Structure 1
Amino acid sequence: MDSESLVLWRRPLTTLEYFFRELIILISTGLQRLLAYKLLALAIFIGILGTITTYYISGPHQPFVQSAVLTLAWWGWWVVLGVCSSVGLGTGLHTFLLYLGPHIARVTLAAYECGALNFPEPPYPNDIICPAEIDPNNTVSIWNIMSKVRIESMMWGIGTALGELPPYFMARAARLSGGGVAELAANDDSKTGRAKIMVQKLVQKVGFAGILACASVPNPLFDLAGLTCGHFLVPFWTFFGATVLGKAVIKMHIQKMFVIIAFNETLVGQVLSWVERIPYIGPKLEAPLLEFLRNQKARLHKNDSAPIDNQGSVLSSLLEKFVLAMVVYFVVSIVNALAQNYSKRLGKKKGKKRE
């Protein structure tokens, strides 16, 4: 069977069957590897059991435990989104555009609207309400807004670094087993192929600095850096350390600053004035944008007596549908990829039997 033709819209039943078979293999393999480290597995089990017990048993410790669990869950959410963004050799879910970017933009708009950053916790970060009293020591500035969203951004960056590990381990295992990632782009004369070769040479010659340079800028070809590092047996902590530093520190600060500057209230007003000047469609686009901003500002002042329009705008409805479509595409791509992996696994077994 041709693995590339094994997709949901062509062979749905076979694809789903192979997907579940491959999923069971991956889960069982992961459990076997975890059980190989018995002390680590026991420590994880005791930690989870102790956390659950202290979370539900009443006592003076309970508020602190619940607060810690909620904080860790919030951080873990961004780590998972980061993994989803970079895993899958470029076919990941673009969670920066869908989640982190809008979160930074929402905090930025709220900061300029409220004139403060000391939003009451809770409901922040799940919901933003203007504080009753403004902290004079926490004025609204680009640097203070960056500090407000730094933890979420760094957790997301760490997640993207974790998502780059599968190509590294895949190439490393292939090299150690006697195979290799041979000339990944040698026969590709296109611009993309030449860019891949450039990334390979940069990482191979420069090492830590090359990995850091590739990870510090938005780079869709960074998977090639992971494959190259694994193929040339670059030490794990050299690769992972440079990736985390580049993605979670350098690149995230660049992206944060870009979003914060772009959603400055003055710049947003200027953009709306430019949108209005677009012939024919300008006024039609300006109206839903103004409605969206008005509703967002109204939600910040929940203690006010002004009514809030909860029906949502056309823009927010379209954004929700776009996010749903991206999530569906991501899930479908995962199902297809695992099914194709199982098909290749079967092909290898048949090849060995013939030999």
Structure 2
Amino acid sequence: MTQSLSSVYVVTPWRTNASEDEREKKQKQKQSGISSVVCTMSAKSKEVTALAEKLRQERKKLTLFRRPFSVLYHFSIVLVRFLKWLALYLLQHNATRFLVLPLALLWVAASVTEGAHHKYLDEFNLTVEFVVWWFGLGVLSSVGLGTGMHSGILFLFPHIFMVVQGAEACKSLNFDSRRDMWFRSFDTDCAPALDAAPVTFFAIFLKVFWPCALWGAGTAAGEIPPYALSRAARLAGQRNEEFEEITESKSQYNILNWMKDWMIKFLEKNGFWGVLLMSAWPNVAFDLCGICCGHFLMPFWTFFGATLIGKALIKVNMQAAFFITIFTDEHMKRVEAFIASVSPPEWKLDARVSEFLLECREKFHSARQQASVEHAAGGAAKTSVISQVGSYVMVAFIAYFAISCIEQFAQQHAAEEDEEKLKKLE
């Protein structure tokens, strides 16, 4: 009995030490396994991050001149997808079935049928062309994140000048200025004036109001694509590369960095009124507004309503008032008198300003007269070298704008494909 107890006492401590060693061994194996899993996950995370950065750099190289086939491939997918969505949306919408389609059939029937109604049909067609022209020019002016065509300088402000000059030539506003569109020449067929009252500033302003308002509405609509893309990326939890580029890029001038940061904070804090104030004056940095508002998840009608009021009702009408004042002789004399009263006489600043503006007017007059001669001769008149160069520059400018839009859509689709690749690795 004593011998068996001693054997128990001898064996028990050995078994206890063995169980502790086994427990410690299992714990070390467990910790080692956890560490290996953590290391594997960390390495995988670094690999995904590195791949994401590499794909981002590759997308920046996705341009039409560097990789034309890749750009056209991605853009064709985006285009087909959009056309499918648009076709389904239009076919299923009640406005299309009960309003647009009946009106289109009525328009076709009226066009192929002879009768006295054609004068009303021609008026309707002219109005549609007028709306599409000026609204479309506004869209081209603001879409494309800064690469848009400056159609205000090229078309709208010369149109205001032509209306002012037509009012001075006819001594009235009894002429149709709507035909100054789709690259047609401006013809002031002066109708007999009903009265001899002078043409007022307000009357000229009303004459150019609708082209200005439609152009301004188009510039507001051109801000929707960057807003929509930025908002969709934020809602999807994706990286908004445009917003990151805005916030992370730094200029060599501190004042520009301060202005950019201030504008972003101002928009986030003030919402509707912030967008309204930013859009109500010629702000070269407003291209960033749509991206910022989309990233902040600002409601669409808050963003678009403020942009529409600021651009179509405030900013463009201020510009119209300025150009009417500059282009009208009576108001120009008042400006010259004001400049003379605030500047030293020896500078002769009023005379220099007057000479410069008169020279601009003469250039507009000569261009209009040449266009009228060519139109009357059926286009047989020989165009000047300057005119030809101007046409080529216009074509090149529009081509550059179209290329930039194609590249943006292609890069957006490439980003979607890259996101799918990264999800498979995670």
Which band: TM-score by shorter chain? 0.7 to 0.9
C-alpha distance in 1 between matches for 2:282 and 2:85 = 33
Decide whether the 8 Å contact of 2:141 with 2:149 is kept in 1: yes
Q: Aligned residue pairs: how many?
A: 340
C-alpha distance in 2 between matches for 1:339 and 1:237 = 28
SS in 2 for 1:221: helix
1:20 matched residue in structure 2: 76
Return the offset for 1:55: 3.2
Give 1 or 2 for the bigger CA radius of gyration: 2
Return the offset for 1:58: 2.9
Are 1:5 and 2:66 matched, yes or no?
no
The AA in structure 2 aligned to 1:337 is Q
1:190-225 per-residue CA deviation (whole Å, 9 max, x = no partner) reads 344432322222222222221110110112222333
C-alpha distance in 2 between matches for 1:122 and 1:212 = 30
1:198 matched residue in structure 2: 262
2:248 matched residue in structure 1: 187
2:278 matched residue in structure 1: 214
Specify whether residues 49 and 294 from structure 1 end up closer, same or farther in structure 2 by C-alpha distance, changes over 3 A only. Answer: same
2:419 matched residue in structure 1: 348
C-alpha distance in 2 between matches for 1:314 and 1:141 = 39
- Of 114, 128, 135, which aligns to 1:79? 135
- Of 223, 229, 242, which aligns to 2:293? 229
C-alpha distance in 2 between matches for 1:66 and 1:275 = 38
Specify whether residues 20 and 301 from structure 1 end up closer, same or farther in structure 2 by C-alpha distance, changes over 3 A only. Answer: closer
TM-score where L is the length of structure 2: 0.69
C-alpha distance in 1 between matches for 2:422 and 2:85 = 22
TM-score where L is the length of structure 1: 0.81
- Of 49, 52, 70, which aligns to 2:126? 70
1:15-34 per-residue CA deviation (whole Å, 9 max, x = no partner) reads 33333232222222333444
1:277-330 per-residue CA deviation (whole Å, 9 max, x = no partner) reads xxxxxxxxx7x985652453587899xxxxxx9545555444333322211211
Structure 2 alignment gaps of length 5 or more:
1-54, 334-350, 375-379
Decide whether the 8 Å contact of 1:229 with 1:239 is kept in 2: yes
Summarize the alignment of residues 45-56 of structure 1 with structure 2, pairs less than 5 Å apart: 45-56=101-112
Q: Name the one with the larger helix percent.
A: 2
Return the offset for 1:246: 0.7
1:83-127 per-residue CA deviation (whole Å, 9 max, x = no partner) reads 111112222121112221222222222322333221157866753
Structure 1 alignment gaps of length 5 or more:
277-285, 303-308
The AA in structure 2 aligned to 1:10 is R
C-alpha distance in 2 between matches for 1:27 and 1:263 = 45
1:281 matched residue in structure 2: none
- Of 161, 166, 169, which aligns to 2:228? 169
1:221-247 per-residue CA deviation (whole Å, 9 max, x = no partner) reads 223332333333333222221111110
Specify whether residues 296 and 115 from structure 1 end up closer, same or farther in structure 2 by C-alpha distance, changes over 3 A only. Answer: farther
1:293 matched residue in structure 2: 365
Decide whether the 8 Å contact of 2:148 with 2:401 is kept in 1: yes
1:176-203 per-residue CA deviation (whole Å, 9 max, x = no partner) reads 3334756664434434443232222222
RMSD over aligned CA atoms reads 3.5
Are 1:100 and 2:156 matched, yes or no?
yes
Are 1:39 and 2:69 matched, yes or no?
no
Are 1:337 and 2:393 matched, yes or no?
no
- Identity over aligned pairs, percent: 34
The AA in structure 2 aligned to 1:83 is V
Specify whether residues 256 and 322 from structure 1 end up closer, same or farther in structure 2 by C-alpha distance, changes over 3 A only. Answer: farther
2:31 matched residue in structure 1: none
Are 1:262 and 2:262 matched, yes or no?
no
Decide whether the 8 Å contact of 2:130 with 2:178 is kept in 1: no
